[in-house]
Amino acid sequence: KRPLLEVFDLKKHFPIRAGFLSGVTGYVYAVDGVSFSIDRGETLSLVGESGCGKSTVGRTVLRLIEPTAGQVVLDGQRIDDLPARSLRPLRRRMQVVFQDPFSSLNPRLKVKEILAEPITNFGLAASAKEVEDRVAELLDKVRLPRDAMNRFPHEFSGGQRQRIGIARALAPGADLIICDEAVSALDVSVKAQIVNLLSDLQDELGLSLLFISHDLAIVEHITHRVAVMYLGKIVEVAEKRTLFSAPKHPYTEALLSAVPLPDPTAKRERIILTGDVPSPIRPPSGCRFHTRCPHAFDRCRVEEPPLKAIAPGHLAACHLHDGGAPRAATAAA
């Protein structure tokens, strides 16, 4: 069966201009050839350090920003090149929940009006009564009391506001929800509640989720698969269990080594990466991770490793898994 969302070789290069009237002097290669798919009812997490391009992937898929190249296919239909008018009805099906619900919820509107907006915009209710019924239903779905509809966003806690944000994403009947650091700003216990709510809603409604996060401990709770990004590219994709127990890309290994283990007495060696994340304006040659990789060898500086299958459903972009150099030899390199 065809995935709900398919992304092929997506690129977003932001032009750099020295001034308003000057020509383009370079590009920020924010997303530089990213491919993945999400099945119906599946959660794929996109993880990586800030600035790796994961949010830009989300915004480009949603066409909040226009892609430079590549294809985005929603339920079998290409949407990356659709004119705005034809795109409009499809927007109903893909919605976003941002990190800060406060800045994305209009403070002057009551919750009822916030949730009614997408319902009326997409013509999903025939009367004011129907709109109100639908708003009440949405509040039930996100486990908020119905009288919440008569209050304003500032009257709610951060977690409750995020529930309103989720209700608004559900309002037009979306089947793909992109969560961009949706729980990052919340307290630990509230994070867990919102993540549980998202998985319950997923089961109930068959939602597909693209869960963008830098927080691997949270990702482990919610996701089915994980895609790891570094400097505009995906470097590894695997089922959650495989990725967390047997990561194959050195960057994934380093990210995971920083995640606290559930058993506090268990030990995992922390891999400290040296050097800063290079600029996406001038990404390193060859493997983009070679300037920080503890295993880099000569080939890594000149040849870019392709993202390829190393086991069924497990992809990695690293020469070590592509007939490169054995690890024993890398110390001498």
Applying CB under 6 A, which part among 17-25, 169-177, 184-192, 294-302 lies near ligand SF4?
Answer: 294-302
User: Of 137, 91, 93, 143, which is closest to residue 116 (Cα–Cα)?
Assistant: 137
Q: Work out the burial of residue 162: count CB atoms within 10 Å of its CB; fewer than 13 is exposed, 13-18 middle, 19 or more buried.
A: buried
Q: Which entry of ligand SF4, Mg ion, none binds 305, CB below 5 to 8 A by partner kind? A: ligand SF4
Q: Which entry of ligand SF4, Mg ion, none binds 176, CB below 5 to 8 A by partner kind? A: none
Query: What distance in Å separates the CA atoms of residue 183 and residue 171, rounded to the nearest whole number?
Result: 20
Q: Which entry of Mg ion, ligand SF4, none binds 247, CB below 5 to 8 A by partner kind? A: none
**Total residue length of the chain:** 333
Binding residue (CB under 6 A) for ligand SF4 from 144, 305, 307, 315: 305
Per CB under 6 A, which of residues 65..84 are in contact with ligand SF4? none
# binding residues, ligand SF4 (CB under 6 A)? 13
User: Interface with ligand SF4 includes 280 (CB under 6 A)?
Assistant: no
Query: What distance in Å separates the CA atoms of residue 8 and residue 230, rounded to the nearest whole number?
Result: 17
User: Interface with ligand SF4 includes 273 (CB under 6 A)?
Assistant: no
Applying CB under 6 A, which part among 51-59, 157-165, 185-193, 315-323 lies near ligand SF4?
Answer: 315-323
Q: Which entry of ligand SF4, Mg ion, none binds 55, CB below 5 to 8 A by partner kind? A: Mg ion
Query: Measured from the CB of residue 152, what is the shortest distance to Mg ion in angstroms?
Result: 27
Query: Measured from the CB of residue 133, what is the shortest distance to Mg ion in angstroms?
Result: 36
Please check whether residue 33 is in contact with residue 9, taking contact to mean a CB–CB distance below 8 angstroms. yes
Output the residue with the shortest Cβ distance to Mg ion. Answer: 55
Applying CB under 6 A, which part among 8-16, 41-49, 92-100, 293-301 lies near ligand SF4?
Answer: 293-301
Query: Measured from the CB of residue 55, what is the shortest distance to Mg ion in angstroms?
Result: 3
* Closer CB to ligand SF4, 3 or 305, in the complex: 305
* Closer CB to ligand SF4, 100 or 304, in the complex: 304
User: Interface with ligand SF4 includes 168 (CB under 6 A)?
Assistant: no
User: Interface with ligand SF4 includes 295 (CB under 6 A)?
Assistant: yes
Per CB under 6 A, which of residues 227..256 are in contact with ligand SF4? 249-250
User: Interface with ligand SF4 includes 318 (CB under 6 A)?
Assistant: yes
Residues making contact with Mg ion (CB under 5 A): 55
Per-residue HEC secondary structure of the chain comes to CCCCEEEEEEEEEEEEECCCCCCEEEEEEEEEEEEEEECCCCEEEEECCCCCCHHHHHHHHCCCCCCCEEEEEECCEECCCCCHHHHHHHHCCEEEECCCHHHHCCCCCCHHHHHHHHHHHCCCCCCHHHHHHHHHHHHHHCCCCHHHHHCCHHHCCHHHHHHHHHHHHHCCCCCEEEEECCCCCCCHHHHHHHHHHHHHHHHHHCCEEEEEECCHHHHHHHCCEEEEEECCEEEEEEEHHHHHHCCCCHHHHHHHHCCCCCCCCCCCCCCCCCCCCCCCCCCCCCCCCCCCCCCCCHHHHHCCCCCEEEECCEEECCHHHCCCCCHHHHCCC
User: Interface with ligand SF4 includes 287 (CB under 6 A)?
Assistant: yes
User: Interface with ligand SF4 includes 283 (CB under 6 A)?
Assistant: no
Query: Measured from the CB of residue 292, what is the shortest distance to ligand SF4 in angstroms?
Result: 8
Binding residue (CB under 6 A) for ligand SF4 from 290, 307, 314, 315: 290
Applying CB under 6 A, which part among 39-47, 106-114, 116-124, 314-322 lies near ligand SF4?
Answer: 314-322
Please check whether residue 191 is in contact with residue 240, taking contact to mean a CB–CB distance below 8 angstroms. no
Provide the CA 190 distance to its chain's centre, in angstroms.
20
Residues that bind ligand SF4 (CB under 6 A): 249-250, 287, 289-290, 293, 295-296, 300, 305, 318-320
